[in-house]
Amino acid sequence: MSPFSDLAERAEEGVFIGVMSGTSMDGIDACAVDFSGKTARVIAHQTLDLGDLAGEMRLLALGKTPDHIDAIDYLGLLDIRMAEHVGKCVLALLSEHHIQAIDVVAIGHRPSSSPSFTLQIGDPNVIAERTGINVIADFRRRDMAAGGQGAPLVPPAHRALFGAKEGEDSTLITVNLGGIANIAVMAPDTPLLGFDTGPANTLMDAWIKRHRGLSFDENGQWAASGKPNKPLLQHLLNEPFFQQAAPKSTGIELFNLEWLRTQASTWLETLPPEDIQATLASLTAHTIAESLRPWLTSASEPLVVLAGGGARNQFLTDQIQDAIHDIRAGTRVETSDLFGIDPQCVECAAFAWLARQFLLGEGGNAPSVTGAEGLRILGGFFPA
């Protein structure tokens, strides 16, 4: 039984706000999700640019802190600054979409961190204070305490958000294209499966930032001006992570520009930068498709649903579809728009769902995905 019985009653059919700052760490996304119907419905979406904080967070993810300040003090400052930004994003969502704070049951906050690093940046106490809304946060550590990797956490939410039912004959596969790509496989008579496949946008974002000063490659236009280099692609595929068995997770602590320089220094010096960008898109597409091969070749009519910011990159999605069709021609590939959910909102909505699971006293992880010893209620409660 939930220790928050009054909130649990509201959670059954209430509105939750999911907030996340993903591995790309360029901004914050927040969405309000209404759980009153048979399926969850996103009713509002808000973004907030992190400005200078984005660069600091990326450096922190790589283990780098300024020399002139104590590292512990610096972590504390970033913890508060990130929380202040989250609070601003939530308040903007409430204001611009005419939602009253009292009508929101809780905020589910997915902070910036890597799966192996348990300190999560963005103090939920500050978020609760600034917004006047209950906050559920720190979802990863309970799964890790139970022997899991703490990631990916979104596959169970995908099953709920996209209405996949136990025992259905069809196979639904979701592909989340954030900084890192992860998949969730909902197949008949099979436990929920999910894992990280490798980079989605993180390498492409870093490469275009270095060469053109842009945060991302809009619609993949720069990559489309180049040509994938097959020898480079094959060389990058030698990365041991791609051969690891699931469950597995990764982050920008592995897939970053330093990794790319180490793996491909000769190519980086001789190929046009747009060819490198096109090759990085091919790397994302190839590793996703190969990860899906067991289900693409065995399921009767698999449906692949793309979500995350990368689902708005036409060049990337075309590459993914082509790579999937190379394995199984005619496989249906859609975006989460098919289910009425903006691809950019899917992961936010997942953390809104995790907050709801906490208040209902129900498990939020999938042991078959993270490797945890069992189902666990995830997160901590920070009252308004």
By CB atoms closer than 10 A (0-12, 13-18, 19+), residue 197 is buried
Could you tell me how many residues make up the chain?
384
Same fold, 5-152+344-382 and 155-339: yes
Domain boundaries, given as residue ranges, for the chain: 5-152+344-382, 155-339
Residues of the chain with pLDDT under 70: 1-5, 22-25, 110-119, 164-168
- Please report the pLDDT score of residue 21 as a whole number: 82
Cα angle 108, 347, 327; round to 5: 155
Instruction: Choose among 76, 144, 100, 74: nearest CA to 372.
Output: 144
- Please report the pLDDT score of residue 23 as a whole number: 61
- Please report the pLDDT score of residue 6 as a whole number: 80
Please answer whether residues 112 and 122 qualify as being in contact, where contact means their C-beta atoms are separated by less than 8 angstroms: yes
- Please report the pLDDT score of residue 265 as a whole number: 96
For the domain made up of 5-152+344-382, the CATH class stated in words is alpha beta
pTM of the shown model:
0.89
- Please report the pLDDT score of residue 115 as a whole number: 42
State the DSSP H helix or E strand holding residue 356, giving kind and residue range, or none if neither.
helix 346-360
- Tokens describing residue 283: 């790397």
The fold for domain 155-339 equals Nucleotidyltransferase; domain 5 (3.30.420)
pLDDT, tens digit, 9 for 90 and up, residues 123-172: 999 999 999 999 999 999 999 999 998 888 888 999 888 876 554 678 99
Instruction: Choose among 114, 24, 87, 53: nearest CA to 344.
Output: 24
- Tokens describing residue 120: 């999560």
Residues 6+ apart with CB under 8 A from 142: 365, 376, 377, 378, 379
